[in-house]
Amino acid sequence: MDGVLLFDKPLELSSNTALQKVRRLYNAEKAGHTGTLDPLATGLLPVCFGEATKFTLSLLDADKRYRATIRLGQRTTTGDAEGEVIETRPVAVDQARAATVLARFLGEIRQLPPMHSALKHQGKPLYEYIRKGETVERELRTIFIRELTLERLQDSELEFSVLCSKGTYVRTLAEDIGEMLGCGGHLIALRRTGIGEFSLDHAYTLEQLEAMDAGSRDACLMPLDSLVQNLPPLELDEVQANRLAQGQKLGLTDAFPSGKRRLYAGGRFIGIGDLEGGRLVPGRLLSGVARAAARRDTA
């Protein structure tokens, strides 16, 4: 089975647990997801089956959209609702003040990864150190906040939407917003609404998938090349595709600019390649392409 499912991850399931539930529904041997969501987060989790797992890098590198809610006036040990409250402060924030503070986070900013995260240090995730009462030095990371909009401010809750680069910790962003507002805060809700060009509007819940028959579930899958629509297409003939599958570079007579391309042969997606100075270098190709090339070569 090869394809991509836009899955709406429910609350309180880890990304891996959600992945395994979906994999069993589809009776798939090979599956992976593209970007971890914490158990307290919900929303878009693309699940890739079979050959689609070869092309997940574009989604891992893509910008993400979230809708998040901060509980103002309380700081916790983890920066979210899972931790214990360690400080309480009065809240005196109005719409104008909140909008002004959010605007200060737009553009390139530096962020310190939280200890309660899966970021690895010496081969171990940071959360393993904090569980033992240890902390490690972390380097500030450069991220980019492209959009940050105040959606709701009611009592001690502030809700915002954000479009951000990969590597952004929305939990840390929520804490930093709370600090700049002068009252502190922690994340109490997070929903991922988009990854790259993919939207939660076209995602399926676990309940919806469980209610379907096998044919209807299969119809929910998107094709392999949906993961690389950001790359320009390049059509090859069967001879060129055969040579590429054997690991050969192709000299192209047309003047194409350098860069990655999604490749087709006879209108069929076969993988991606790199154009370097008028030569096409094979990148990630579908396994079936290589097998077919081997059969033709020995015929």
Partners of residue 185 on adjacent β-strands: 72
| DSSP 3-state percent helix, strand, coil across the chain (nearest 5) | 30, 35, 35
Q: Any idea which residues carry the catalytic annotation?
A: 38
SS3 51: helix
Nearest in space to 62 (alpha carbons), one of 234, 227, 202, 262: 227
Q: With contact defined as beta carbons under 8 Å apart, do 160 and 102 qualify? A: yes
- H helix count then E strand count, the chain: 9, 18
84 secondary structure, DSSP code: P
- C-alpha distances in angstroms, 2 versus 67, 130, 137? 31, 39, 41
d(CA 157, CA 185): 9
222 secondary structure, DSSP code: B
Partners of residue 199 on adjacent β-strands: 194
How many residues belong to the chain?
A: 299
